[in-house]
Copies of this chain bind each other. A is one copy, B any other.
Amino acid sequence: MRRSIATVCLSGSLEEKLTAAAAAGFDGVEIFEPDLVVSDSSPEEIRALADRLGLSIDLYQPFRDFEGVTPDLLEANLRRARTRFEVMRRLGADTILVCSNVGTATIDSDQVSADQLHRLGDLAASYGIRVAYEALAWGTYVDDYRHSWRIVERVDHEAVGVCLDSFHILSRGHDPAAIEDIPGEKIFFVQLADAPALSMDVLSWSRHHRLFPGEGAFDLGRFVVHLARAGYDGPLSLEVFNDTFRQTDTRRTAEHALRSLVWLEDRAARLLGPTDSLSRIADVDVPTGLDYVEIKAEDTSGVEVMLDQLGLVFRGKHRTKSVRLWSAGQARIVLNEEHARDLEPHVAGVGFQVRDAAATSERARDLAVRPAARRTHAGEQRLSGFVAPSGLEVFLNGRSAGGAEPFWAEEFEHGHVASDSGVASVDHVNLAHSWEAHDEAVLFYTSVLGLEAPSATEIAGPQGLVRSQVMSNANGSVRIPMNVAPAGQTRFPEHVALRCDDVAAVARHARERGLRPLPVPANYYDDLRARFDLADDVLERLRSNDLLYDRDDRGEFRHFYTPRIGRVFFEVVERVDGYDGYGADSAPTRLAAQARLDRLVAPRSTSA
């Protein structure tokens, strides 16, 4: 199906919105009237710009409070409609959205509304324009799409059809199956939005909390299947009001929006079975493991000291680049100093093990993901890669086999050197995003890589709540907890968690080599005693190694943290008997301890 987006979804001027929509790969746009009103481009100039960009203007919206009114008001509304039709003629737009009346309707009669819409249809037809009538969820008399369709049937005018908006239908819990009772050619337009499951008034929910498809709780795949079965062949258009998107970079939001629509169409195509009307993309190929984590900085030597303390071993320098490999078991850390002037240590890339790197790359490309540029020299292995929302470079290795060494490791000068540290693998990589980028990042990892996103948690830090969303594959061999940094904290750190079978041994080894782990306060252990009824000797073993502790219904979790270097730090974890969490109850203690260390480095100013 053709893909369209409402200009209200994007930030910036109308010209910027159109340019970003075209650059992302949309076929058309809905022009949100206020975006035109505030523009200093004339309707003719906007039309010419859209033409140059290859965008159709699929809809002009919204026209409010038309039907169910007294005769006087009807005449005024028809005059108002005429001025809008004049503008649409100049714009070259041939469909207008008419929302069910929420303000001025006083006559609760389908026949009156149908008669009035029939007159609007006559006027519209004289301009070559079609009227798409939509039931708003909070319409005074018409708040259900089945009701708007009954009225449109009664209008019986070739220029009057319905507009279906997933938000207005699914937010009210209305069954979308009756879409199939509407002839496809009478569905003049379709608007899509997802939304989180919130219980609040539906108007605020609609105005502030809509999401792109795949980010919320609505079953939009099924919604699109009903449309296809009804025979609808117009555009699928996104109309998402969300405070975040309006404050985010326009081009990035447009790519994010297109990704959600491609993903949705693919999902619907798979639900529907063989069809020509819906496009499919390559199958998702969920990563089976983490190939490596890349840390980049102008100077990575401090990280090297820490990796040595944690028991990883130096595996050599890359043949042609200023890149070094450290490892222990299946944990591989790549330290990259290429083109890193003035950069402090940070997580710059993650390698995933997949079955078919070429197919996943194709899927990523179809989902409007930008490829990562990586210089390759003669004789070197080529990895497929792309750029995740935070700027993280994601690379795919389709040739890893179980516990064997990855093929690219031979580009490093030393051969295989075993570590006896007990560190076995990377347990998880914890990424941080600004609040504007978080939803986009979740959609990226679910749609491109097929990771799952169980419910999120919130952690109280000394400078605000930290929202945390775990992304993982089914067996937990790939775990990416993602934190939303409190607003304004741009240097929120990320970390790499290494997994072992005896965290106390790794901690002792590290301490012998000079590591001072993140100090855990005595009050924490008093609290542990109360919460878990732990024996004194157990508590003492934890305390002496600055270990944190948690327990779930399966097993136990013991872990410690290193201090921060730049924007990265390390954690070492031991999972006992299938413990499946991340020690969230200990996170406030960790955040407070880090804040104390940070203050030693840079005392906080006491601003007025």
Contact = CB atoms under 8 A, between A and B. Distances in A.
Interface of A: 11-13, 33-34, 36-43, 76, 79-80, 83-84, 87, 198-201, 243, 246-247, 249, 251-252, 391, 435, 460, 462-465, 486-488, 519, 521-524, 526-527, 529-531, 533, 588-589, 591-593, 595-596, 606-608
B39 A521 contact: yes
A530 B76 contact: no
Nearest to A523: B37
Contacts of A533: 76, 79-80
A199 to B, nearest CB: 5
A38 B530 contact: no
Given A80-B531, A252-B608, 10 more contacts: A13-B462, A33-B527, A37-B526, A83-B526, A83-B530, A199-B201, A243-B464, A243-B465, A249-B608, A488-B488
B40 A529 contact: no
A463 B247 contact: yes
A524 B37 contact: yes
A588 B34 contact: yes
A530 to B, nearest CB: 4
Given A42-B523, A200-B199, A606-B251, A80 B37 contact: no
Contact of A529 (B11, B83, B607): B83
Contacts of A588: 34, 37-38
Contacts of A37: 521, 523-524, 526-527, 588-589
17 contacts: A11-B462, A12-B462, A13-B595, A37-B526, A37-B589, A38-B462, A38-B521, A38-B523, A38-B592, A39-B592, A40-B522, A41-B521, A76-B533, A83-B529, A83-B530, A249-B608, A487-B488
A79 B487 CA distance: 40
A246 B523 contact: no
A593 B523 contact: no
B40 A519 contact: yes
Nearest to A529: B83
Given A80-B530, A200-B198, A530-B84, A464 B11 contact: yes
B39 A523 contact: yes
Contacts of A487: 247, 435, 487-488
A38 B460 CA distance: 11
Contacts of A486: 246-247
Residue from the set A252, A523, A524, A608 with the largest chain B CB neighbour count within 10 Å: A523
Copies of this protein, total: 2
Contacts of A593: 38, 40
Contacts of A76: 533
A533 B519 CA distance: 71
A84 B487 CA distance: 34
Nearest to A526: B87
A593 B41 CA distance: 12
Contacts of A247: 463-464, 486-488
A547 B596 CA distance: 56
A13 B592 contact: yes
A297 B43 CA distance: 41
A37 B533 CA distance: 16
Contacts of A11: 462-464
A117 to B, nearest CB: 19
Contact of A246 (B38, B80, B251, B463): B463
Nearest to A17: B462
A464 B83 contact: no
A455 B71 CA distance: 33
B522 A465 contact: no
A38 B589 contact: yes
Contacts of A84: 530
Contacts of A87: 526
Given A13-B592, A199-B199, A40 B83 contact: no
Contacts of A33: 527
Residue from the set A37, A41, A80, A488 with the largest chain B CB neighbour count within 10 Å: A37
Contacts of A38: 462, 521, 523-524, 588-589, 591-593
A165 to B, nearest CB: 19
A574 to B, nearest CB: 22
Residue from the set A79, A83, A198, A592 with the largest chain B CB neighbour count within 10 Å: A592
A523 B36 contact: yes
Nearest to A247: B464
Contacts of A462: 11-13, 38
Contacts of A83: 526, 529-530
A531 B12 CA distance: 24
A435 B529 CA distance: 40
A301 B118 CA distance: 62
A522 B523 CA distance: 67
Contacts of A522: 40, 42
